[in-house]
Chains A and B, each alone.
Chain A
Amino acid sequence: MAAVAVHQFAPCITCHAWSPDRSMVAFCPNNSEVHIYKLSEDKWEQAHILQKHDQIVSGIDWSSRANRIVTVSHDRNSYVWNYEGSEWVPTLVILRLNRAALCVQWSPQENKFAVGSGAKTVCICYYEQENNWWVSKLIRKRHNSSVTSVAWHPNNILLATTSTDGKCRVFSTFIKGVDTRDSKAGSSSDSKFGEQILQLDLSFSWAFGVNWSPSGNTLAYVGHSSTIYFVDDVGPSPLAQNVAFRDLPLRDVLFISEKVVIGVGFDCNPMVFAADESGMWYELCQIPWGEEDVINWSQVWFAVF
């Protein structure tokens, strides 16, 4: 398997996000700006530059339905960008952080987004119609160190986080007025906002890159000890597997199907993991890529699809 296309946008890219139709990509070239490039006739052209942050933009996510971009930065701020006319218009979101924001992701229904930060907190932001602004609710407890990655469960309520304290945690982010209570008793919408549902102590070193499988049944995250952790049947009695591999540690993972995961990291080649019929995960192969470290999964996705 070789790369479908290779394009050098900048000497270094800290984070990026694809547009809903994959014709555009927004990324941060290791400064305080976000560049948006559009693909027209096999050539990438610069379409917009979003300049609002004061420091490096550490996370970008582009929502598929509402076509909104959310950016977070080391300057402790977050902006939600709406496309109006031919320009991207920013709205400041006051996160109430006293340390850098490190990662961001829109929820599946795109009515909330989660921000992980170096302040050992996670901000869950939602839109308040009456005041026409985004409100940030903080999950302050539990994390003992920076939150490196966040991932939403398909049910729009559960959020998984990884932290440099080595643990992966699942929280409920139920917000009255934004989420609706499920009529089934004992489901995840019974919990309060910020309640920790599960804590996984599988890793003895920093944890990065968490992702849910499409059904939400399986969770995968990576540790800095060149190990990837798979947790099936996330709930009261989860089944965990550690897969240790030969190469340098991974930084991020993506489920491309219920049973196939791609991991990217300090080794220059993305790794593919698969689960066999009995549910045991193993390393399948590496995708030969190139000379640069691949820190984020989407660069790989373009090559695979």
Chain B
Amino acid sequence: MMAATVDFVEADNAEAIISRIEHKSRKIESLLKQSRPVEALKTALEGSPPNTRDERCKSANWIVVHRAIMAIKDLDALFSSLDPEYYDILMKYLYRGLSTGDRPTCDQCLRIHERLTERAGLGCILRSLADTMNTV
């Protein structure tokens, strides 16, 4: 549950977003090498560009988030340290993962989805379904 004042951020141009994503990707690789998958996931989820319509940006960010999601092994550790403000955006990416149809991705996403729903409730799922403007 979160309460926040309404704040709309102007979307930068696509090139700036993609270079930021590449920068994020390098940081995530280094975090994964240090066996810090939860931090890697947080970094991947931060600054997700929902305000752009550009599919390339969304796909680029998805690749980075997907990498971090697949690296998660310990779900208890994930949920004990992931802040609630990430729940909604993570749920949106889980549904994107489920829509790929790729077996390992779907298995991992379902596993995380079960625990995330326990933590965040059905409202979290509703928010990822009902929001047609800020899609990932």
Contact = CB atoms under 8 A, between A and B. Distances in A.
Given A223-B130, A225-B131, A243 B124 contact: no
Interface string A186-221: 000000000000000010111000000000000000
Contacts of A241: 3-5
B16 interface: no
A47 interface: no
A302 interface: no
B9 interface: no
A209 to B, nearest CB: 15
From A244, A246, A249, residue with most partner B Cβ within 10 Å = A244
A110 interface: no
Contacts of A204: 130-134
B10 to A, nearest CB: 15
Interface stretch (A78-86, A139-147, A279-287): A279-287
A245 B130 contact: no
A244 B130 contact: no
8 contacts: A205-B131, A223-B130, A227-B123, A244-B123, A248-B122, A249-B123, A281-B3, A283-B1
Contacts of B2: 242-244
* Chain B at the A interface: SS class: mixed
A206 B6 CA distance: 18
A264 to B, nearest CB: 15
B87 to A, nearest CB: 9
A239 interface: yes
Interface of B: 1-6, 88, 120-124, 126-127, 130-134
A268 to B, nearest CB: 12
A204 B121 CA distance: 19
A247 interface: yes
A14 interface: no
Contact of A246 (B3, B121, B132): B121
A226 interface: yes
Nearest to A206: B130
A243 B3 contact: yes
Interface in A230-269: 239-249
B121 A205 contact: no
Nearest to A244: B2
Contacts of A247: 121-123
A245 B1 CA distance: 5
Given A204-B134, A205-B132, A244 B5 contact: no
Contacts of B122: 226, 246-248
Q: Which 9 A-B pairs have the closest CB atoms?
A: A246-B121, A226-B123, A205-B130, A225-B130, A226-B126, A204-B133, A225-B127, A204-B131, A246-B123
Contacts of B3: 241-243, 280-282
A239 B4 CA distance: 11
A69 B1 CA distance: 40
A242 B123 CA distance: 13
B27 to A, nearest CB: 28
Contact of A224 (B6, B88, B130, B133): B130
